[in-house]
Structure 1
Amino acid sequence: MLATVLFAAAIEVPVVVVTATRTEHASFDVPASIDAVKVDENNLRTNASEALAAVPGLVVQNRQNYAQDLQISSRGFGARSAFGVRGVHLLTDGIPASMPDGQGQAATFNLDMAERIEVLRGPYSAIYGNHAGGVIQLFTKEGDGAPSVELNVAGGSYGTRKTDLNAQGKQGNVGYVVDASRFETDGYRAHSAATRDQAFAKLTLTPVDGAKLNIVANALRQDDTQDPLGVTWATYQRDPRAGEIDNADTQSPKRTLAERYNTRKSIDHKQIGATWEQRFGDDRLHVTAYGGNREVIQYQAFSKAFQAPSTHSGGVVDFERDFSGLDINWSHVTTLAAGKLTTTAGVEYGHSNDARQGYENFVGATFGVKGALRRDEDDTVSNLDPYLQTEWDAGAWQLSAGLRHSRVKISVDDHFLANGNDSGSLDYSHTTPVLGVLYRVAPQLNVYASAARGFETPTLNELFYSGTGGGFNYRLQPALSTHVETGIKARLDERTRINAAVFQVKTSDELVVDTSSGGRTSYRNGGHTLRQGAELSLDATWDYGLSSRVALTTLRAVYDQGSRLPGVPNANAYAELAWKESAGRFGAALEAVAVGKIYAEDNNVDQPAPGYGVLNLRVNASQQWAGWRFRQFVRLNNLLDKNYIGSVIVGDANKRYYEAAPQRNWLLGVSALYQF
């Protein structure tokens, strides 16, 4: 009897996704590689890497550096990012978390209120335009049911602690969610302490029949987040947690670069957005509007050798950004040749304006303080992208097509002319077509193929410097790519599902690191690259509350001369075996993560970061009492206490490529929820 109950509970519920087609689809019936993953409530819910490690084709490297955010790459796109996320388009509830130039920050995701994360790879990503080597979209919870209040408290190794308080509910036709949290850590690496405050609010209204309005606001604040910088191979071998000694520091011979310059970053990010959906029978109008402000001040590590007034813009970056955007689309459903034809037409506009200053990071003999002004400019980026998607579904066949024309404008108005006038503008444009076909071989087996052209402009940060100390780089060209993919989606039975895909991407004018030093990176166009790979995921549920997931990726990413792309492992894998007691009171899981070696520079000459494998264990429990729900969990990460490099800084001029990951560490969390 128990086995029968467990079997019934394990039958798969179809996963519904919207990111690939902008309309609701079972992921099984989408001709694209797309996964929807849950954010595990038995974790810290601070880094998206916690959930995204389970997605094939995706590499999410935690730098252990909250000043620079995660390093996320999709099939190799985005791996060279010196900070933040580029090459991968980020959204929250349909609202962009990436700027018009393609740069985004995963730290703005509120994972405490996450319902699921959708990850789209391959050709279909191109329908999101510039920098869409992949798409990651966070969907947050909507207020529902009786009001509830929840408190979560967690703590662990290296002074890690987090407190989160949230409330949700629904009154009449208004649902609400509010959340506030504080995360603190002393950091695993030297000079890597951070404090992060986040706030989130969401209102869901149904003012008239067939209509739905979501209003989402979020805020992120980090004051003086320490930047540990990278280290050389010799320093990593001596002490993985140590910083790089500043050999030029004659006053304090054992002081690190990070300590001497007090490298750090402060961030204040605020954003509000709204989505309106109105249905007219099968047709639908969808409108998204958003706006926000981001303030950043960052202290970088430069020695006096780079302080010539005529060649650089200072070691302190200080900017204030206002950004906004609008997306309007209309979906129409009709019948064509005994099939269903769904067509979506829309236009997206984005705009950002930076008031940007640069200062010396020393005064007299004191480093790490704001000194003389060396840069003063206004930087403006905008995009205007009309797009069209259509899908015809009849019997065993589904045919899809899309077209998007992206135009990105970048302008610089330089007010500091002592080191030359960097004023100027750039105008990039490209049309990206997408084609897909899916064939239903049997009710439990679909095969598909898709192809697209991709478009990737330099981001504003990639244009700032041309070579060591140089000014704005107006010579950079966009990278153009051709994507092809074929795959299968199969349900072996009610409890086992397999997705598999093989793909190839050819890119011209690939944007690569020219030189990187002290937190400043310049770029160049690097010729042709080829990416070929395969992805496999397998999900299964078993008797007695057991379930498993396996995600495997192999990727050959090379330049035309044969060397491998830096920052991209040739293989990575994830496996999880989980158990959940029938009543849901207890659970446990064992996770395994493996990543191949990663080269740190284009010529593959210097020591690559060695491949590694780690095991993680979690145990959780929950109790119900009257209107209360209590939860507890314990995590042990890196069970075997491995020393390994978690990420690399691509192309660092001083060979300080390596960023160590934590050895064995623990995390304990408790929560209490009361429903009124």
Structure 2
Amino acid sequence: MIRKASLPAAVLLALPPMALAQNHLAQLDPILVTPTRTAETVDETLASVTVIDREEIDRLQPKSFTDLLRGRAGLAVTQNGPFGKTASLYSRGTDSGHTLLLVDGVRMGSATLGSPSWQFLPIPEIERVEIVRGPRTSLYGSDAIGGVVQVFTREGDGAPRARAHLGTGSFGTREFGAGISAGQGDTRYSLSGSHFQTDGIDIQENTGDRADDGYDNSSFSGRVSHRLAGGAELFGSFLYSTGETEIDVGTGEFRDWTDYGHHAVRAGIRGPVTDHWRSRLTLAHSRDEAETFYDGAFDSRIDTLRDLVTWQNDVLLGRHLLTLGADYREDRVQSSNDYARTRRDNWGLFAQLQTELGAQDLSASLRQDDNEAFGHETTGQVAWGLEMSEAWRLRAGYGTAFKAPTFNDLYWPGSGNPDLKPERSRTAELGLRFTGEGVRSDVTVFRTDLEDMIDWAPPPGGGRWWIPQNVDEVRIRGIEWETGIRRGDWSAVLAFTHLDHENRNTGQALARRPDDSLRLDLDRSLGRWSLGGTVLAQGRRYNDEAESDPIPGYALLNLRAAYAFSSQWTLRATLDNALDHDYVQVRGFGDDYNEPGRAVFLSLHYQQ
């Protein structure tokens, strides 16, 4: 992994990781930082990864972040209706709370629900997404059982450049945004804002009111870095999203909605201590805020706040790279509900060694967490890679991971169980990667065993009311395959996933995970025109773990086109669900969550 870098290891160590991550991905082998917390190329990594850059985001024209992830290798997404409604991401069949979300390195998500608010991430503020499948708890701590999704906001590069967009479409949808960025000399910066609003659709016909359930999102992001004399660099970033999403819950006499906030901010310093030692200190804060109203009246407020401190040191020892770090996290809850406890902290120490032995690459990582709520937890991971030829690369890995019980699990008024243990997992995988001229293909087989899974069950000593307990054991086996091809004016990306998942206590399948899924993105450039389409196919799944409520599979066709009037102005159009297919992703309280039919969206973009 160090030997085969497109840049020498000493150079990778000397450059800021975020600068490397912004390497404009026009190259076949982009640089990523999420799998190991250090810079490495996609071809070198011993993890199963997907990288989505801004060029691909512009080409696909997704209306939401969940649309960008849906159907990717190893991933399944369900959502309680479109446009800002509650979304769940299942990485390799694990729960939605088993995938860690990072925004510019800042841990996001609700400490009460235990999962991120995937639905609120604003597409216009995103420069790049790195998806890492498989356990990463030994580097990042709790939650990274199924993987890590890291979002990078816009960053400045080169001469000052302005950008803007304006759009409209079906369901009363309208959007606009603008930004400016630059990166010259010792200073780089980016600042942008966007607004998305839609009347939406009625997400449930027999629940709540019969009006359409709208959504709006106002977002702002910024990044800045400045290099000091001697090579050290100050850096900072923020992402702020706020808005309202309407839901169907109450009696139907008045509307139901949630006011939300989704924020991340960080600041720090990084730079060389010696020619072979690079250090980075980061301070960060994140918030997940929700204030809910049923039948037009206030129901509850639950805000979770996180303060984070991370110190990471990367030391180059000949052909070996040693990473040593420590982090501290404090979670706090501010709520109208009377939680038994409203704060807890977690201390973590982690170490990783990456090395090479001829044609083989090795990495090993170990982490110790000390959590105020449940005590100590140790996780580790090992990976091995073999360069079989210039084009073929074999890899294998094994890792343990855990997820801490949420505040709701431990302290929810009347039903919390403070004696819960963390959920734990063991994952083994074997992967094969091919990289050729204009072609990259990656296939991985894996198995994950989870124990002490938290579910509702009667108290051990008997009692009328069920409480959360460590009762479930789960086995997930699967294969994921992703291939990307560029040939002249054509480009295609194919992703396929097959899962075999089972609750070992009941012998039944896990809820809402399709056994099979496929995604095909096909595009062609024709001078000023570009045309493309996406096919999404999902197999049958069950809405419940009793296998009594099957949800049929479905296939969707989305079409897109773009016309460049000049080097600065582009008109884009999409026809989503082009065949007007009627389908269901999930049911709630016996009632389908509706999905939109055929929809048209137009947008005009300016890029200086």
The aligned residue for residue 361 of structure 2 is 398
SS in 1 for 2:159: coil
Alignment check: 8 A CA contact 1:276 1:287 kept: yes
- Residue 567 of structure 1 aligns with an amino acid whose one-letter code is R
Cα separation, partners in 2 of 1:65 and 1:478, compared to 1, 3 Å: farther
Once the two structures are superposed, the pairs formed by residues 318-337 of structure 1 within 5 Å of their partners are 318-335=301-318
The aligned residue for residue 152 of structure 1 is 165
- State the shift of 1:286 in Å: 1.6
Q: Per-residue displacement from partner, 1:209-236 (whole Å, max 9, x unpaired)?
A: 433332112211114x21135xxxxxxx
Q: Per-residue displacement from partner, 1:81-109 (whole Å, max 9, x unpaired)?
A: xxxxx211111122222466753223453
Q: Structure 2 CA distance, aligned partners of 1:61 and 1:38? A: 23
- Residue 58 of structure 2 aligns with an amino acid whose one-letter code is E
2:248 aligned to which of 228, 247, 255 = 228
Q: Structure 1 CA distance, aligned partners of 2:476 and 2:293? A: 36
Once the two structures are superposed, the pairs formed by residues 511-526 of structure 1 within 5 Å of their partners are 511-512=454-455, 523-526=468-471
1:382 to 2:335 alignment: no
- Residue 596 of structure 2 aligns with an amino acid whose one-letter code is P
- State the shift of 1:559 in Å: 0.9
Larger-gyration structure (1/2): 1
- State the shift of 1:495 in Å: 1.4
SS in 1 for 2:35: coil
Q: Structure 1 CA distance, aligned partners of 2:305 and 2:136? A: 30
In structure 1, runs of 5+ residues without a counterpart are 1-9, 80-85, 230-256, 303-313, 359-374, 410-425, 516-520
User: Which range is displaced more, 446-455 or 196-205?
Assistant: 196-205
1:206 aligned to which of 227, 234, 245 = 227
Alignment check: 8 A CA contact 1:61 1:646 kept: yes
Q: Structure 2 CA distance, aligned partners of 1:14 and 1:209? A: 31
SS in 2 for 1:120: strand
Alignment check: 8 A CA contact 1:64 1:187 kept: no
Q: Structure 2 CA distance, aligned partners of 1:463 and 1:595? A: 35
Q: Structure 1 CA distance, aligned partners of 2:339 and 2:368? A: 33
The aligned residue for residue 131 of structure 1 is 143
- State the shift of 1:622 in Å: 1.4
Alignment check: 8 A CA contact 1:67 1:227 kept: no
Q: Structure 2 CA distance, aligned partners of 1:528 and 1:62? A: 25
Alignment check: 8 A CA contact 1:143 1:204 kept: no
Alignment check: 8 A CA contact 1:356 1:377 kept: no
Cα separation, partners in 2 of 1:44 and 1:574, compared to 1, 3 Å: closer
Alignment check: 8 A CA contact 1:92 1:109 kept: no
The aligned residue for residue 117 of structure 2 is 105
Alignment check: 8 A CA contact 2:82 2:595 kept: no
Cα separation, partners in 2 of 1:404 and 1:589, compared to 1, 3 Å: same
2:396 aligned to which of 449, 460, 464 = 449
- Residue 168 of structure 1 aligns with an amino acid whose one-letter code is S
Cα separation, partners in 2 of 1:75 and 1:522, compared to 1, 3 Å: farther
Once the two structures are superposed, the pairs formed by residues 636-675 of structure 1 within 5 Å of their partners are 636-649=575-588, 654-656=589-591, 658-673=592-607, 675=608
The aligned residue for residue 550 of structure 1 is 494
- Residue 644 of structure 1 aligns with an amino acid whose one-letter code is Y
The aligned residue for residue 441 of structure 2 is 498
The aligned residue for residue 566 of structure 1 is 511
Alignment check: 8 A CA contact 1:356 1:378 kept: no
Q: Structure 2 CA distance, aligned partners of 1:46 and 1:208? A: 43
- Residue 157 of structure 1 aligns with an amino acid whose one-letter code is S
- Residue 29 of structure 1 aligns with an amino acid whose one-letter code is E
- State the shift of 1:345 in Å: 0.8
Cα separation, partners in 2 of 1:524 and 1:615, compared to 1, 3 Å: farther
Alignment check: 8 A CA contact 1:357 1:377 kept: no
Q: Structure 2 CA distance, aligned partners of 1:269 and 1:35? A: 24
Task: Give the ranges of 4+ consecutive aligned residues of structure 1 lying more than 6 Å apart after TM superposition.
Answer: none
Q: Per-residue displacement from partner, 1:495-532 (whole Å, max 9, x unpaired)?
A: 111100000011112224669xxxxx974434211000
Q: Structure 2 CA distance, aligned partners of 1:642 and 1:274? A: 47
SS in 2 for 1:158: coil
Q: Structure 2 CA distance, aligned partners of 1:392 and 1:196? A: 45
- Residue 440 of structure 2 aligns with an amino acid whose one-letter code is R
Q: Structure 1 CA distance, aligned partners of 2:491 and 2:62? A: 22
2:521 aligned to which of 568, 571, 576 = 576
Alignment check: 8 A CA contact 2:475 2:501 kept: yes
Q: Structure 2 CA distance, aligned partners of 1:46 and 1:258? A: 30
The aligned residue for residue 61 of structure 1 is 78
Q: Structure 2 CA distance, aligned partners of 1:227 and 1:439? A: 51
SS in 1 for 2:582: coil
1:299 to 2:244 alignment: no
User: Which range is displaced more, 324-333 or 53-62?
Assistant: 53-62
- State the shift of 1:601 in Å: 1.5
Cα separation, partners in 2 of 1:110 and 1:327, compared to 1, 3 Å: farther
- Residue 487 of structure 2 aligns with an amino acid whose one-letter code is W
Alignment check: 8 A CA contact 1:448 1:488 kept: yes
Q: Structure 1 CA distance, aligned partners of 2:118 and 2:535? A: 23
Tell me the matched-pair count. Answer: 563
SS in 2 for 1:185: strand
Q: Structure 2 CA distance, aligned partners of 1:661 and 1:507? A: 32
The aligned residue for residue 218 of structure 1 is 239
- Residue 310 of structure 2 aligns with an amino acid whose one-letter code is D
Q: Structure 2 CA distance, aligned partners of 1:476 and 1:260? A: 40
1:436 to 2:383 alignment: yes
SS in 2 for 1:49: helix
- Amino-acid identity (%): 23
SS in 1 for 2:408: helix
Q: Structure 2 CA distance, aligned partners of 1:118 and 1:439? A: 23
SS in 2 for 1:29: coil
Q: Structure 2 CA distance, aligned partners of 1:609 and 1:514? A: 26
Alignment check: 8 A CA contact 2:33 2:40 kept: yes
Q: Structure 1 CA distance, aligned partners of 2:600 and 2:524? A: 20
1:620 to 2:576 alignment: no
Q: Structure 2 CA distance, aligned partners of 1:396 and 1:43? A: 38
The aligned residue for residue 483 of structure 1 is 427
2:153 aligned to which of 110, 128, 140 = 140
Q: Structure 2 CA distance, aligned partners of 1:522 and 1:547? A: 51
Q: Per-residue displacement from partner, 1:75-133 (whole Å, max 9, x unpaired)?
A: 12224xxxxxx211111122222466753223453431322110011134553221102
SS in 2 for 1:23: coil
1:276 to 2:278 alignment: no
Question: Normalising to structure 2: TM-score of the pair?
Answer: 0.87
1:540 to 2:485 alignment: yes
Alignment check: 8 A CA contact 2:108 2:288 kept: no
Cα separation, partners in 2 of 1:347 and 1:110, compared to 1, 3 Å: farther
- State the shift of 1:42 in Å: 4.5
The aligned residue for residue 280 of structure 2 is 286
1:264 to 2:260 alignment: no
2:571 aligned to which of 632, 641, 645 = 632
Q: Structure 2 CA distance, aligned partners of 1:617 and 1:572? A: 19
1:603 to 2:546 alignment: yes
- State the shift of 1:31 in Å: 1.4
Q: Structure 1 CA distance, aligned partners of 2:49 and 2:597? A: 32
RMSD of aligned Cα (Å) = 2.6
Q: Structure 2 CA distance, aligned partners of 1:192 and 1:623? A: 36
SS in 1 for 2:43: helix
Cα separation, partners in 2 of 1:29 and 1:182, compared to 1, 3 Å: same
The aligned residue for residue 588 of structure 1 is 531
Q: Per-residue displacement from partner, 1:344-364 (whole Å, max 9, x unpaired)?
A: 011111112222114xxxxxx
- State the shift of 1:23 in Å: 1.1
1:75 to 2:99 alignment: no
Once the two structures are superposed, the pairs formed by residues 304-319 of structure 1 within 5 Å of their partners are 316-319=299-302
The aligned residue for residue 88 of structure 1 is 99
Cα separation, partners in 2 of 1:494 and 1:567, compared to 1, 3 Å: same
Question: Normalising to structure 1: TM-score of the pair?
Answer: 0.78
Alignment check: 8 A CA contact 1:389 1:403 kept: yes
Alignment check: 8 A CA contact 2:136 2:148 kept: no
